[in-house]
Homo-oligomer: A and B are copies of this chain.
Amino acid sequence: MDTIADLTRRIQPLDERAMAAARARQDTLTKPMGSLGRLEELSVLVAGITGRQQPVINHRVIVTMAADHGVTAEGVSAYPREVTPQMVYNFVNGGAGINVLARRANARVVVVDMGVDADFPPGLGIVDRKIARGTNNMAAGPAMTREQAVAAVLAGAEIVEWEIERGLDILGTGDMGIGNTTPSSAMVATFTGADVAGVTGRGTGVDDLQWAHKVEVIERALALNKPDPADPLDVLAKVGGFEIAGIAGAILGAAANRRPVIIDGFISGAAALFATELCPAARDYLIAAHSSVEVGHRTILERMELVPLLNLNLRLGEGTGAALAMPLVDAALAILSGMATFAEAGVSDRDSAV
């Protein structure tokens, strides 16, 4: 692909015919109509996304994007910055939460260095798309240039297109980046017009005083950079992050290729919000995995009119919520293709009720 416009132009509406066929089949299955609720809706959605009346998912991928953030210089996180590369090693060694949960979901984890402030040796399976060694401090100027933002988005899309060539049927998104709830809150406040305090949470666990400071840092960054909500790339560049941009690109790449995307928590949500502000048609390709403890996540989901599948009080990121939700999509499709119809099973439908 050449430009972001080339990418978004390929994102088409859902396939209404496949959806109608899936819905019609659901109504012939041996259960009261609609009694599997959101599982039925999910199967219809994936039919619409893929254009297949009975979609099949064989190859599941979680893309976990990592990057560092200049704003950590302001002391916005409970964890030190070196945790970002340490966790990247943990990912490729298979010891992190996302590794455990992706194994249970039968998903492969693709770990991407979008901009970690460390040099990784080759041969570990870390996909190197490093834009820079961390963003600049958004409280002192723009986090990145517009060119860097575009490059990061396109890199995310390219990774997904490469995975699609290898068979990807469904994408889950994930993030790792000490400090990354701070740019995410800044982006959400800009796009939705919400008060910073109302969309800023405790991240990995800051206390009241640190939280107030985090809000103040975000407010300062917004006052200084004046990101323009009508120009999503301006927002991403000025107060975003490289992994956030990469996730947004992955979402757009999946949608352009009619693959469903399970978005994880707050950081993936901020990326999805950017993607849908840039290209509203991308919204229909998204499945919200869960409702995060991070307060701003609710604002994101409401803005995109997405209802999360799980409410497990998660706040880890990495794609863990996406991995937990993936089996529900599998289950929805298994119902659509695997259940007996009333006719096949010789079960009386409700029309035969007295």
Neighbouring B residues of A211 by C-beta, 8 Å: none
**A78-B344 in contact (CB<8A):** no
Report A211 CB to chain B, min CB distance, Å.
14
A3 within 8 A of B: no
**A316-B79 in contact (CB<8A):** no
Listed stretches A159-167, A231-239, A346-354; interface member: A346-354
A217 within 8 A of B: no
**A353-B100 in contact (CB<8A):** no
Contact size range, A: 35 or more
A77 within 8 A of B: yes
Given contacts A31-B97, A101-B334, A350-B78, contact A86 B345 (CB under 8 A): yes
Listed stretches A7-15, A36-44, A111-119, A298-306; interface member: A36-44
**B83-A31 in contact (CB<8A):** no
A204 within 8 A of B: yes
**B205-A87 in contact (CB<8A):** no
Neighbouring B residues of A313 by C-beta, 8 Å: 37-38
A324 within 8 A of B: yes
State which of B90, B103, B324 has its C-beta within 8 Å of the C-beta of A340: B90
Given contacts A90-B340, A335-B101, A339-B96, contact A32 B348 (CB under 8 A): no
State which of B31, B38, B87, B103 has its C-beta within 8 Å of the C-beta of A316: B31
Residues in A286-313 with C-beta less than 8 Å from chain B: 293, 309-313
Q: How many copies altogether?
A: 2
**B38-A104 in contact (CB<8A):** no
A81-111 CB contact bits vs B (8 Å, 1 = yes)? 0110011011001011101110110000000
Given contacts A95-B340, A97-B339, A327-B327, contact A314 B35 (CB under 8 A): yes
A20 within 8 A of B: no
> How many angstroms from the CA of A83 to the CA of B35 in the assembled complex?
16
Neighbouring B residues of A280 by C-beta, 8 Å: none
A132 within 8 A of B: no
A30 within 8 A of B: yes
Please give me the 10 A-B residue pairs with the lowest Cβ-Cβ distance, nearest first.
A95-B340, A37-B313, A32-B204, A35-B316, A38-B312, A100-B338, A86-B347, A90-B345, A78-B350, A35-B315
